[in-house]
Amino acid sequence: MAADNVQTFTDGNFETTVLKAGGPVLVDFWAEWCGPCKRLAPTIDQLAGEYAGKVTIGKLNVDDNPDTAFKFQIRGIPAVLLFKGGKVVEQVVGLAPKEEFKKAIDKHL
């Protein structure tokens, strides 16, 4: 499903891999039943390839990891949050073009 450089985030590893990460982390909140999430997946895979080594990119299944989704008030998916220094610095909700994600990421590199 995901490219080699797209990580899988969970309630269990979120604090360590996202909130305590040294650099920016892009998190795609998604679910198996979500059509727009599936259409966004190739974009997330492409971004992971383009930003490899600069930005950690991964996905969090909201059905399997409800605690993290609740903590960040994820009400609609897909929701993509960019974290830096343990805080949300950018947020894109819904299906958006790749350029919108690149703009958000580039601001924080």
DSSP code at position 90? E
| 34 tagged catalytic | yes
37 catalytic per annotation: yes
Separation CA 22–CA 37 (nearest Å): 27
Q: Which of 37, 47, 57, 74 is catalytic?
A: 37
Given a contact cutoff of 8 angstroms between Cβ atoms, the answer to whether 90 and 5 are in contact is no
Q: How far apart are the first and last CA of the chain?
A: 27
- The single residue listed with the structure tokens 């080699």 is 4
Active-site position among 3, 31, 34, 89:
34
Known catalytic residues? 34, 37
